[in-house]
Amino acid sequence: MISRTANSWLTHLLIFGLCALMLQPAVAREIKPIAVGDAVPKLDFKDIRFLRRTLDDLPESKAVVLAFVKIDCPISKRYLPVLKRLEAEYRPRGVQFALVNVGAEDSIMDMAEQALDYEITFPLLKDFDAVAARSLGITRVPEVVVLQSAEKQDSSKRLTLAYRGRIDSQYRFGGTQSSGVRNELKDALDAVLSGRTVAIAEAPAEGCLVTVDEPAPARKEVTYAEHVAPLLAKHCATCHRPNTPAPFSLLNYQDAASHADMVAEVVREQRMPPWYGSPKHREFINRRGMSADERATIAQWVRSGKQRGTETEAPPIEPSVKADGKWLIGKPDLLLTELVAHNLPAEGVLPYEYTVFPHVFLQETWLESIQILPDNPAVVHHCNSGFMRLGEKVTEQNFITGYVPGGQPMELPEGVAVRIPAGSVIGVQIHFVTTGKPEKCRMSIAFRFARSVVKQQLRFELMDDHRFQIPAGAAMHPVVTSRTLKYDAIGVGLFSHMHLRGRDMTFVAHRPEQPPEKLLVIPNFNFGWQHGYQWESSKVRFPKGTRIECIAHYDNSEFNPFNPDPKVVVREGPQSFHEMINGFMFYIDANEDLQLAIDPKTGTAKPRS
């Protein structure tokens, strides 16, 4: 007989053990794989937009092929062209392919860039912790499963596992089989489509083992005060503070602890801090992102119970903003605010609104910093500003700068300034969004006049196209445009703009008599985070005659979760259900030397002596 004391001790031990199991990461769970012929369980993935997806999100089909891959596996890479050919062959016959990345070290951006390099047009999915792979019995890459669609008694559809194994017997670590190749995937698809039983339902795959990402060993103690707060101050607090578009603040322990699980998820996925430029090409000084060690620290803190540390070690975080608080450029020399607020409805798609600020620049004015700021950031998706004369329209050709959630104000290197011609006013184009209740918003724009001698004027080239058409259902439709530089140029930065069907954008420099150089690849363009990419001053140079090419792809397919209507041909237009290709390159004329002394009180050039 067990005593009450012993029973209590055992109960507490059991509870402690259960809690310890609950705190273990998901990767530690054993998953029993299903057998051929079994129904496929509910499986979760993330797409290139970091959205949760399931197999139900794939277009309806007779069969589904999931091809599991890793970026660094050589056999996996060799089979990508094979998968492309098979997908093109079987798509008209009702087979849906999807590429599933299970690389423990592969980010969603990495996955999207590889698909861009190989021109993969079918859906891309990320299988974190290889949960789907283990559920389906996948142990190596490249390995595929064929999921057969069948009707249940209630007329709904279900998927069963019809085939698991290699694609064919052609590529192996030891070499290539040139004849007598066994095409198990093709044979399985032909059998499924003809209603026959798959003769070889499982075939051994050669390739790279699927490795489950085990968490790094925990520190002796991970606390908010010592380890987490410095990371939030460095990477998050500039945006995650009051009166910004960020959905919540992260300035103290209570903020962080109450959102800890969400923070850990987006940091692990590298969704936050937001950055969409591939690190494989030119380096940008405003690049965001946490290191692998920093991401592991956040994860360990959450897993180990979100320890606070001492009160004296955990003071509130002070965001690194300049003297005027809300103005990241510092105290403005000139602040313009709309006279009347915009009244916005609770719901619906809102047309772009255009407004002109109540100020005329009577003299030519030179600006070193510009910041646009709404008093209600939650309702502004983006805003573009430009100079014009009264009665004219705001056009891309007179563009100055823009506002996007997560973006930064324009701050130029010493000696470089934006020129506003005499007689100009500032107009803005505003894309408002609804929040579910009536709202008001008033826009402001702040300027700091040039402080140093202005040597060069900021210039830009806009790569755009107003005549493209995106076919209905096209998953990766290309639009290409370019401009040629008229000067020896020093690059300042790049900016991309597309709408809801925008998938990726690449900037390529074609210098005279030199090989092309990729300047920037945005493999998974995000409509909600359209930030600029800024080079180190004087670092990137282009000789006169360099052609800057902008290559964009658009996803007008059913799988695009933001697609307003995959059945229509899409043309250029201002609304988000239209499309745009706007690739900006900002630069200065390398040979220009204006030597303008600027009055810091007015922004105008002083008379030359």
Cα 533 to Cα 585: distance, rounded to the nearest angstrom: 10
Greatest Cα-to-Cα distance within the chain, rounded to the nearest angstrom: 105
List, run by run, the mean pLDDT of 10-residue segments along the chain (609 residues). 37 36 47 95 96 96 97 96 98 98 96 97 97 97 95 65 96 78 96 96 94 72 93 90 82 94 96 94 93 95 92 66 67 96 93 92 96 92 88 76 82 94 94 93 97 95 96 98 97 94 98 98 91 92 98 98 96 90 96 96 86
Cα 414 to Cα 450: distance, rounded to the nearest angstrom: 9
pLDDT at 408: 81
- As given in the structure block, the two tokens for residue 234 are 């460095």
Q: What is the DSSP string of 558-572?
A: TT-TT-S-TTS-EEB
pLDDT at 13: 34
pLDDT at 15: 35
pLDDT at 533: 94
- As given in the structure block, the two tokens for residue 492 are 């300042």
Q: Is 487 exposed, middle or buried (0-12, 13-18, 19+ CB in 10 A)?
A: middle
Sequence-ordered list of residues with C-beta below 8 angstroms from that of 128, at least 6 positions apart, any chain: 46, 268, 269
Residue-wise over 41-60: b if at least 16 C-beta within 10 A, else e? eebebbbbbbeebebebbee
The answer to whether the beta carbons of residues 103 and 71 sit under 8 Å apart is yes
Over the stretch 413-440, which tens digit does the pLDDT of each residue have?
A: 999 999 999 999 999 999 898 999 999 9
pTM of the model: 0.89
What stretches of 375-470 adopt beta strand conformation (E)?
380-389, 399-403, 410-411, 416-420, 424-432, 439-441, 443-449, 456-457, 459-464, 469-470
Q: At what angle do helices 184-194 and 80-90 cross, to 10 degrees?
A: 20
Cα 392 to Cα 21: distance, rounded to the nearest angstrom: 66
Cα 84 to Cα 86: distance, rounded to the nearest angstrom: 6
CA 502, 504, 510, 511 torsion-angle sign: positive
pLDDT at 155: 45
The answer to whether the beta carbons of residues 145 and 138 sit under 8 Å apart is yes
pLDDT at 158: 87
Cα 66 to Cα 99: distance, rounded to the nearest angstrom: 6
Give the domains, in start order, of the chain with CATH numbers. 45-209 (3.40.30.10), 224-313 (no CATH), 344-452 (2.60.120.230), 459-589 (2.60.120.230)
Q: What is the DSSP string of 310-373?
A: -GGG-PPP-----TTSS-TT-S-SEEEE-SSPEEE-SSSPPPPEEEE-S--B-S-EEEEEEEEE
Residue 183 has what DSSP assignment? -
CA 430, 431, 434, 435 torsion-angle sign: negative
Whole-Å CA distances, 367 to 187, 278, 372, 482, 562:
67, 31, 14, 28, 38
Q: Which of 60, 79, 165 is nearest to 120 (CA)?
A: 79
The answer to whether the beta carbons of residues 497 and 560 sit under 8 Å apart is no
Ramachandran bin of 180, using left for φ above 0, alpha for ψ from -120 to 50, beta for the remaining angles = left
**Strand partners for 46:** 52, 126
Over the stretch 449-481, which tens digit does the pLDDT of each residue have?
A: 999 899 999 999 999 999 999 999 999 999 999
Q: Which of 421, 424, 418, 425 is nearest to 449 (CA)?
A: 418
